[in-house]
Amino acid sequence: MAIGAIASMVSVALAEIFGPDLGAPAGTLGHVTSVEIVIPRPDDWHVHLRDDEMLDAVVDHTARWFRHALVMPNLTPPVTSTAEAQAYRVRILDAASVGADTFVPQMTLYLTPTIDVDDLVAGWKDGVIGGVKFYPAGATTNSDAGGTNLLDFEATLATMVEFGIPLLVHAESTDPTLDIFDREAAFLEQQVGPLLAYMPELSVTVEHISTAAGIDLVNEFDQAYGSITPHHLSCDRSDILANGLRPELYCKPVINSAKNRRALVAAATSGNPKFFLGTDSAPHPLSQKEARVAKAGIFNAPYGLQVTAEVFYDCDALDQLAAFVSLNGAVRYGHEPSDDELRLVRNQSPVDDVVELITTAAGDQVRLFGVAEAGRWSVTAV
Ligand code: NCD
Ligand code: ZN
């Protein structure tokens, strides 16, 4: 940590790093007492809020800290019309008991052959719809309604070009002959790259990038952006497998190698405006997550900010945190950064009474990701 530095950031955010030479807060001792950073209220540009009792149990964890939440449409059945998205948005806001003045769910439609482009355009113009999500059928949770080829949706994509509607891509090949750790790169090479070249005006976010190949592709094409999750930034595949199998780290796309993780961290901490936070928070009941066949998805909404802050702290890049979590995504999706601010404080002594499980009204437990980092960092609204 560069203790001597006061990290300066764009004018909307201020980072303050306290060390003894800079005047430690009263009552603190040691060479580093605490690190404090103030950032504009962040946005989560990829989140699964589910429905019913699960929605009730998880939504406040997003609404408490995030402003925009780009809500994924992979319900059963999937969200494919503006009316369904609007009804879902109302259920989300009804379920939230915090963030009344700050929380803005931004809805997405699931790209299927049944999408009515006039309805999509109307939802986009009304500000209900923020993007259209493509799932390769069978690649992940509730993706059965997805497609096999992006270009099968050429007519819808052409309309999206016309109106500037973002395409959000889950980039993962479903070819069973391919190694699971190579499937993102394969899908990018086989489908996303050719699509970007074919439709250079189509605005695309490569979601939850898990490999260097994803970073490279986003950098290659002007019209491409990338969201990155806290878990892909903080873990590699050895964390899943090396010290006992940890099903809570299983997600799609799978957490990849240490080398790939380093490429993600480099991109996220670089300040490059093409990359921003999308937590991909994806809660599943413990009974399905720690089962013989475990569901893919990590519930990181509660502690995703703390995990991300710890990654940036570890590589001495806290001065870039606001860009990654609060600014870059807002600019990409056409918004001003928030006027609200959050204060994140890293405590020298971690606390160990952090909540590890929540329980829904239906009696399902859900495990929280990032407990260690949550013990390190406290977050408050300024
Ligand atoms: C997500 C889910 O559970 O809905 N799971 C996941 O592993 N990320 C779906 C997705 O985004 O792939
Ligand atoms: Zn997701």
Q: Is the CB of 141 under 6 A from ligand 1?
A: yes
Query: Residue 34: its pLDDT value, please?
Result: 84
Nearest ligand to the C-alpha atom of residue 296: 1
Q: Is the CB of 294 under 6 A from ligand 1?
A: no
DSSP string, 130-171: EEEEE-BTTSSTT-TTSBS-GGGGHHHHHHHHHHTPPEEE--
Query: Residue 143: its pLDDT value, please?
Result: 85
Q: Please tell me the pTM assigned to this model.
A: 0.92
Establish whether 280 is a catalytic residue. Answer: yes
Q: How many residues does the chain have?
A: 382
Residue nearest to atom 9 of ligand 1 (CA): 141
The CA distances from residue 125 to 129, 130, 205, in Å, are 8, 10, 20
Q: What is the position in ligand 1's atom list of the atom closest to the CA of 48?
A: 4
Peptide bond into 200 cis (omega under 30): no
Q: Is the CB of 296 under 6 A from ligand 1?
A: yes
- Ramachandran area for residue 300 (φ above 0: left; ψ -120 to 50: alpha; else beta): alpha
Out of 2.60.40.10, 3.30.70.20, 3.40.1800.10, 3.20.20.140, select the CATH number for domain 41-337. 3.20.20.140
Residue nearest to atom 6 of ligand 1 (CA): 297
- How far is the centre of ligand 1, averaged over its atoms, from the C-alpha of 193 (Å)? 22
Domain boundaries, the chain: 41-337
Query: Residue 32: its pLDDT value, please?
Result: 58
164 closest CA partner among 130, 119, 113: 130
Nearest ligand to the C-alpha atom of residue 227: 2
- How far is the centre of ligand 1, averaged over its atoms, from the C-alpha of 143 (Å)? 9
220 closest CA partner among 199, 203, 197, 202: 197
Q: Are 359 and 293 in contact (CB under 8 A)?
A: no
Q: Is the CB of 297 under 6 A from ligand 1?
A: yes
Q: Are 56 and 361 in contact (CB under 8 A)?
A: yes
104 closest CA partner among 68, 77, 135, 71: 68
Q: Are 274 and 328 in contact (CB under 8 A)?
A: yes
Query: Residue 336: its pLDDT value, please?
Result: 96
Q: What is the position in ligand 1's atom list of the atom closest to the CA of 250?
A: 7
Within 10 Å of residue 110's Cβ, how many Cβ atoms? 25
> Cα–Cα distance between 98 and 93 in angstroms, integer?
9
Query: Residue 278: its pLDDT value, please?
Result: 98
- How far is the centre of ligand 1, averaged over its atoms, from the C-alpha of 47 (Å)? 9
Which of 44, 56, 236, 280 does the annotation list as catalytic? 280
- How far is the centre of ligand 2, averaged over its atoms, from the C-alpha of 115 (Å)? 20
Q: Is the CB of 74 under 6 A from ligand 1?
A: yes
Burial of 88 (0-12, 13-18, 19+ CB in 10 A): buried
Q: Which backbone phi and psi does 312 adopt, to 5 degrees?
A: -65, -40
Q: What parts of the chain have a pLDDT lower than 70?
A: 1-33
Beta-strand ranges (E) seen in the chain are 14-17, 34-40, 44-47, 68-71, 104-110, 129-134, 167-169, 204-206, 224-228, 275-277, 341-347, 357-359, 365-367, 377-381
Q: Are 37 and 309 in contact (CB under 8 A)?
A: yes
Q: What is the position in ligand 1's atom list of the atom closest to the CA of 172?
A: 12
Q: Is the CB of 180 under 6 A from ligand 1?
A: no
Nearest ligand to the C-alpha atom of residue 146: 1
